[in-house]
Structure 1
Amino acid sequence: MRVFAPLFLAHLALAAPSPLHQVREQVASKYIIKFKDAVEISTFDDVLNSLSVNVENTYEGIFNGFAATLDASALEKLRGHPSVDYVEEDSVVSIDSLVTEPTSRWNLARISHRARGATNYIYDSSAGSGTCVYIVGTGIETTHPQFGGRAFAGANFAGGTNNDGNGHGTAMAGVVGSILYGVAKQTTLIGVKVLSDSGSGTVSNLLSGLSWITSDATTRSCPKGVMVLVALGGGYSSSVNAAVAALVNGNKFVAVHAGNDASNVGNYSPASEPSACTVGGTAADDSVSSASNTGALLDIWAPGQSILTTYLNGGTATLSGSLAAAHVAGLGAYIASLEGVSPSLLCVWLQALSTKNVLTGVPPGTVNYLAYNGNGA
């Protein structure tokens, strides 16, 4: 946390105020300030040094900006600064609850066969080698034997321990890249903890995690590409969408969960970001989840119900929820390693490769594309 001197530049109150983006579940008195794209870092530093508030998060890589708790006067002055693009209320992001169900392993077979009913998973032995997948959420139980020493605790912006005390992040990582239950069994898994053990957090901390990925990825050995899984969400957020777009523009593949509110994905972030690969969930009978968000911004479907995966304390669980996005993050790593596809182009590649028009319950205006790994079965 940084505290700066109470000196405001005289011109703060002279410019027309920048937009204030309001949200559904505001974190009281906390705001995200995004600077205009052309603003130099020196201008960014000058503004920070003019504030008499606690700056709690700073952002680079995704965009230049910061988050802070502001009173009405400071908010008004910041909105009047000519370098400010917009101000957004900080808000709540969270995971969807995972539902425990009887054991099943249908999902890997489904993404490696054109027709349903197969029981074996067919894949190339490259299996995502040379790629890295950042799992953004509750962290990962890195010591789980199913990760084979390929899982690491990257950063923690949620407070508390680095461990996954919820299970959601470990379950996601298992679908992405565990030995028995994963799509890309040789990828490197990196946990980015932005949610508490209850599964809830803030946009400001999510942005810190996404910003950290842009710098950390330059220090990793990921010659085949970097993938990012964001299987969480909240209401529409311009700043979250801008951060995801920056990751994609930086040649990273970003798979996100469509959400389970039976609504339009355009109302939620990061699901509404066009450059993200937004994923809805399906069942073993090729029906789509009735709770899944849908709409023109949904890119692809993948298995999301009754998925056997890794869980806490070295165990496993069969779960339903946001695991569809984990399949697509794993497929991104798999295809990038096998075919050498640039990460920023992977969503279009996966759409072209997908099995078309086999799903039931897909509403008009939403694609009928089921994720497929291209093995030819």
Structure 2
Amino acid sequence: MRYITALAALPFALGAPTLNTRADAAAEAAPGKYIVVLKPDAPAPAAAPATGPGIMSTSAVAAAEKTHIYGVGNFKGFAASLTSVQLAALQADSTVAYIVTDKREAHTMDVSAADQAQWGRITSQANATWGLARISHRDAGTTEYRFAASAGAGTCAYIVDTGVYAEHPEFEGRATFLKNFATTATTDDNGHGTHVSGTIGSKTYGVAKKTKLFGIKVLDEYGYGAWSDIIAGIQYAVEDSKNRTEECPNGYVANMSLGGPRNQALNDVVKEAVEAGIFFAVAAGNEAVNTDASSPSSEPTAFTVGATDYQDQITSFSNYGWLVDGFAPGLDIESTWIGGPTATNIISGTSMASPHMAGLAAYLQGVYGQQDPAALALRIKSMSTVGKVKNIFPNTGTPNLLAFNGAL
């Protein structure tokens, strides 16, 4: 799974109006660019007066070039280019919770290049990808994908990634390139987002074959993006979902197969999006380390997904730890790709495991109806196959749970 560099946040003390300036030689800094997060009781940035009390009345801030204004639940703030004088003024402002440097640090996470009456009819797909077959059987070794015929109907999935090649016939007209926050073309010019979308909901390669897919582009053609753009993309998904209650009566899911160093701002906006009713599946990361130092995989309200191989072993690259919620297939996954109507690609990473789980969340809401994200996460865990994942790191709190769709 390639890391899609996006909103890289450096470590900082939550609630302290100070900027952590720990250098990261591997990250490409955006000089003078910051994400300013306000305290919950501070005036909303867009509504604060230009003069008088409040954060936006600070003359240095009023003159700043703002690229995004955020307001998702209690997560409020803005992204801006700041001079040292403006930065100092904000650090001293009592309404500021914290400030983080905006970096191109987030990246994709690929590594190679009920009862039966409620479930309704169970159907099957022969010669399915090994990942689909694995999540529909308790034991490995089959090539059949078994699933409820509802197949995620009435649900909508937001893919916060490199965009989606919506014209691919595998999407059957159910995919939309919704919004572009990256600086490159309004299309998926990388392929990663299209591959992820295909695993969630394409005709042949998808877990939830009737869900609607909405691509939000926050990463460029190289799979990298700014933290500020990723936060803006999440905010857009939340706002867009409010206008799709009739189109998505059975609920919403989102997938983020991207990540970077731990970023509290990104974690906080994911938390608010989950509280707004969107189930978030996120990739655990590909460094074979504890995922608690990465974002968004360290956000507890997100559903963090590690990767397994054909033999139910943790892949050599998958992150682990108590913040992982479960595992799904992530090695040599075939799915849709860019470049033409028959394009497919086989790639690996926790980027490929996460959309199996996002698709499963959409699929289960197609069966049971819309569910609160926490309740849906609990259902997924309670249905999971227990004890099959091999080579789990001891004494790390990593759960031995493998995704299962319940289609016995």
* Alpha carbons 2:109, 2:283 under 8 Å: kept: no
* Alpha carbons 2:45, 2:56 under 8 Å: kept: no
Partner of 1:138: 162
Bigger shift: residues 307-316 or 236-245: 307-316
* Alpha carbons 1:336, 1:343 under 8 Å: kept: no
Bigger shift: residues 302-311 or 38-47: 38-47
| Cα offset, 1:342, TM superposition | 1.1
Bigger shift: residues 38-47 or 244-253: 38-47
C-alpha root-mean-square deviation of aligned residues, in Å?
A: 1.8
Gaps of 5+ in 2: 1-14, 50-54, 114-126
Partner of 2:407: 375
* Alpha carbons 2:44, 2:77 under 8 Å: kept: no
* Alpha carbons 2:110, 2:352 under 8 Å: kept: no
| Cα offset, 1:43, TM superposition | 8.4
Partner of 1:30: 33
Q: Distance in 2 between matches of 1:290 and 1:343?
A: 33
Three-state SS of the structure 1 residue aligned to 2:145 is coil
Alignment of 1:25-64 (within 5 A): 25=27, 26-41=29-44, 45-46=48-49, 47-48=55-56, 50=59, 51=61, 52-61=63-72, 63-64=75-76
TM-score normalised by length of structure 1: 0.91
Bigger shift: residues 332-341 or 35-44: 35-44
Partner of 1:366: 398
Bigger shift: residues 334-343 or 281-290: 334-343
Q: Distance in 1 between matches of 2:128 and 2:204?
A: 13
Deviations 1:143-186 (Å, cap 9, x if unpaired)? 00000000001110002322100000000000000001100000
Q: Distance in 1 between matches of 2:161 and 2:210?
A: 21
Deviations 1:13-48 (Å, cap 9, x if unpaired)? xxx971324464343221100111122327862333
Partner of 1:6: none
Q: What amino acid does structure 2 have at the position aligned with 1:86?
A: Y
| Cα offset, 1:293, TM superposition | 0.9
* Alpha carbons 1:44, 1:64 under 8 Å: kept: no
Deviations 1:177-233 (Å, cap 9, x if unpaired)? 000110000000000000111100110110110111111111122111110101000
| Cα offset, 1:118, TM superposition | 1.3
* Alpha carbons 1:177, 1:189 under 8 Å: kept: yes
Partner of 2:102: 90
The number of residue pairs the alignment matches comes to: 359
* Alpha carbons 1:17, 1:81 under 8 Å: kept: no
Task: Label 1:42 to 1:242 Cα distance change in 2 as closer, same or farther (>3 A).
Answer: closer
TM-score normalised by length of structure 2: 0.85
Deviations 1:73-129 (Å, cap 9, x if unpaired)? 1111011111111111112211134526xx982111100000111110000011001
* Alpha carbons 1:98, 1:319 under 8 Å: kept: yes
Q: Distance in 2 between matches of 1:289 and 1:239?
A: 29
Quick one: percent identity of the two aligned structures? 38
Partner of 2:7: none
Partner of 2:318: 292
Q: What amino acid does structure 1 have at the position aligned with 2:273?
A: L
Task: Label 1:247 to 1:22 Cα distance change in 2 as closer, same or farther (>3 A).
Answer: farther
